[in-house]
Amino acid sequence: DVAAMIEAADILSEEKTIATYEKFGIFTEAELAAAAERGKAEAEYLAARFAAKEAVFKASAKEEAA
């Protein structure tokens, strides 16, 4: 469940969070490749991508509830 993963992300370590996202297919192959090219900024890149996806998910969930 994506909502539970969003809540859990705050308590997981950076490495575990990335591994979880990869396991559940949160990121595309292109996103993972782009992140890998950023070296030390990989986590920041993935965090920004996830934040954008989370915002869309939450906005669409609110629209459906309305």
pLDDT of residue 54: 85
pTM here is: 0.61
pLDDT of residue 57: 85
pLDDT in tens, the chain (66 residues): 666 666 666 566 667 777 777 788 888 889 989 999 998 888 889 889 988 988 888 888 877 776
CB environment 36-57: b (16+ within 10 A), e (fewer) = eeeeeebeebbbebbeebbeee
Reduce the DSSP state of residue 41 to 3 states and report it: helix
What distances in angstroms separate CA 65 from CA 27, 28, 47, 60, 62, one per listed residue?
26, 28, 27, 9, 5
pLDDT of residue 34: 94
pLDDT of residue 11: 60
